[in-house]
Amino acid sequence: MITGKTKLLGVIGYPVEHSLSPVMHNAAIAQLGIDYVYLPFPIKPEDLHTAIQGFAAIGVVGFSVTIPHKQAIMQFLSAVEPIAQAVGAVNTVINKNNNFIGTNTDIEGFLAPLQTHQQDWSQKVAVILGNGGAARAVVAGCAKLGCAEIHVVGRNVHRLRDFSQSWENSPLQVNLNVHKWDELPRLIPQTDLLVNTTPIGMYPKVDESPLSAAEMANLSPQAIAYDLIYTPNPTKFLQQAQQVGATAIDGLEMLVQQGAAALKIWLQRQSVPVDVMRQALQKHLG
């Protein structure tokens, strides 16, 4: 029952109707029995500043940030925590005394399913497809794992150069190399962890993959392929990886874990019902 006392949480993005965040957060809220609701807010890039001012005016407690706002939002916040500064992207915002503070729980979310794979990451090569806000969290995660080499592959040479330069003064020890897309066939055979951070393969274009079947055929069967996309499940990218015998990780667990970390921040709690969040998503996705 939503009343005038119900506290507001939400997710901003554009588009945002595909977001599963409301499903898992509202399931957790119901389990906890608290008077909150989590809503999706479709906000066009040109309306971002106005929306943030509106959120302040109505006392929104906190919100998630997804594509395409993860970097653009930083200029409109009162403060950005060091982890998000290091990544250069915000995915979680909390309202503290009418000041919006940005942080990043994507790194925690990204690492959670990888930590179940016992590996000597110091010997491993990570290749990351894409160079947007999500890729930044993955680079930071791979640096935290201690990967021997981190390669980022993108299509826009200028954006790649900016991406590379933005890590030069980072507090994170990032062993980063950037490459144009046409260099990918050379990188694939030596890849231990292949991560798709692009939106290619996301609903509704479910028949697309960032790689051709021929490119994926050169991936080692010992490799891990990780797609940050969580719907459809599995994506075409992960289907291709499974066909060569690689381990596939979809974006669902990252979504759950980054969401749980965000919910702890908003509610100021030590724990939240992670299993309930995961089960709600699995049920929703059938």
Question: Rounded to the nearest 10 degrees, how much is the dihedral formed by the CA atoms of 250, 251, 255, 261?
Answer: 80
Q: Where in the chain is the domain with CATH 3.40.50.10860?
A: 7-103+253-285
End-to-end alpha-carbon separation of the chain, Å?
26
Cα–Cα distance, 286 to 272 (Å, whole number): 23
pTM for the predicted model, two decimal places:
0.87
- 91 marked as binding residue: yes
Averages of pLDDT over runs of 10 residues in the chain (286 residues) are: 96 94 98 98 98 97 95 97 90 96 96 91 97 91 95 96 89 89 97 97 93 97 96 94 97 95 97 97 92
- Which pLDDT score is estimated for 110? 97
What local confidence, expressed as pLDDT, does residue 88 receive? 87
**CATH fold of the domain at 107-249:** Rossmann fold (3.40.50)
CA distances (Å), origin 209, targets 87, 152, 231, 244: 26, 17, 13, 15
92 is annotated as contributing to ligand binding: no
Indicate where the chain has its CATH 3.40.50.720 domain(s). 107-249
Q: Tell me whether residue 133 is annotated as binding.
A: yes
The reported pLDDT for the residue numbered 18 is 86
Active site amino acids: 70
CA 93 to chain centre: 14
Q: Would you say 65 and 13 are in contact if contact means Cβ atoms under 8 Å apart? A: yes
The DSSP code for 238 is H
Q: What is the pLDDT of residues 58-114, one digit of tens each?
A: 999 999 999 899 999 999 999 999 999 988 889 999 999 999 999 999 999 999 999
In this prediction, residue 134 carries a pLDDT of: 86
Architecture (CATH level 2) of domain 7-103+253-285: 3-Layer(aba) Sandwich (3.40)
Would you say 251 is a known binding-site residue? yes
Sheet strands (E) in 135-282: 149-154, 176-180, 193-196, 224-227, 247-249
184 annotated ligand binder: no
* Apex 199 CA angle, 196 and 204, nearest 5: 130
User: Whole-angstrom Cα distance, residue 42 to residue 201?
Assistant: 21
